[in-house]
Homo-oligomer: A and B are copies of this chain.
Amino acid sequence: MHRLRSLIPSANYLFCFEAAARRRSFTAAAQELNVSQPAVSKTIRLLEEATGLKLFRREHTRLELTAEGQRLYKETQEAFDHLHMVISSLQKKHSNDVVRVSFSASFVQLWLLPRLKDFKAKHPDVSLRIEESSRDDQDLVEEDIDLSARLGNGKWPGIHSWRFVTEEVLPVCSPDYLRDHGPIHEPADLLQHTLLNFEERHRTRLGWREWLERHAVPVARLKQDFVFTDALGSIEAAVLGQGIALGWKHLVHDHIRAGRLVLPLQESYRSGHAIHIIMPAQRPPKRGTELFRDWLIEQDADAGVLQPTGNADTG
């Protein structure tokens, strides 16, 4: 044990002693420490017995520190002041090192979490506070967010942005679904299938209607058998073989690589926009935020060619 512990059985005694010494009153110290006056009296007696030092002179209603008590009080207060300063500065630094990021649930679950281990390995001292947000129009400053992602042209006032990944949307379903309900030759065939939709209240994303119209398939009325609250839900339903979902290429990349999802068609839609990494421009970013941004860019989310499978000609 640290040798100090052989001198005082409980470091908490010093909290008590410091308060009593500063207030020159066991009663006032007790109030401050939220304990009863006899608790302070007893604790000081135990400290005096343990150390063999007379720390206070009790003079009826006046409490005086002995010379030894004065000395110990001064040093204890300095030690406590110093430790407080150390912990506070560590806390402040920690707060600066905690990068507050906010993404859609689908991005977090489908893309970020599987890769986070690599970030942690490369930057063990950077902490991320990951919030799942359901809005496009989040005020980064207001909500004290260090970094987020946003779909668009990358030009927003008060925002720094870095292009992250192309928006490319394509239908996905499970291999089982395709085997059981396929083949699907052209986009119009999709109308005969269970299309998995999602609607996010505060985020505008391309839906089935838009996708089909972009592929010259007029849609008078779209069946709405399944509507999820976000893209993540519809992707998970697709993985379970419950229909065909629209998948953003970078989000379904892992599922496809793993064979859990396949491309029933080779058609996809590129909006011409991209998802950008964004930060508020008003304050210099934390070191950890820069590290995280650089790491995100390194991931090269556009990389990797996905081949349609399932209904490709096979022997």
**Which residues from chain A sit less than 8 Å from chain B, CB to CB?**
1-5, 7-8, 10-12, 14-15, 18-19, 22, 32-33, 51-54, 57, 66-68, 71-72, 75-77, 79-84, 86-88, 90-91, 93-94, 124-125, 127
- How far is B84's CA from A76's CA once the two chains are assembled, in angstroms? 10
A177 to chain B, nearest CB (A): 41
In the bound complex, residues from chain B placing their C-beta under 8 Å from that of A86 are: 71-72, 75
B76 contacts A90, CB within 8 Å?
no
Q: Is the interface of A mostly helix, strand, loop or mixed?
A: helix
**Among B3, B4, B22, B53, contact of A94 (Cβ-Cβ < 8 Å):** B53
Apart from A14-B83, A52-B94: 9 A-B pairs, beta carbons within 8 A? A4-B87, A5-B15, A7-B87, A10-B11, A10-B12, A11-B11, A54-B94, A68-B90, A71-B90
Cα distance A90–B12 when bound, in Å? Answer: 19
Closest B residue to A47 by CB, please name it: B87
Do A88 and B33 have beta carbons less than 8 Å apart? no
Nearest-neighbour CB distance to chain B for A128, whole angstroms, equals: 12
Q: Could you say which residues of chain B place their CB within 8 Å of the CB of A11?
A: 10-12, 14-15
| Nearest CB in chain B to that of A97: its residue | B68
Question: A66-B125, A80-B4 in contact; A87/B12 too (CB < 8 A)?
Answer: no
Q: List 20 A-B contacts (CB under 8 A).
A: A1-B32, A2-B15, A2-B22, A2-B80, A2-B84, A3-B84, A4-B15, A4-B81, A5-B15, A10-B11, A11-B11, A11-B12, A11-B14, A12-B12, A51-B90, A52-B91, A52-B94, A57-B124, A68-B90, A79-B83
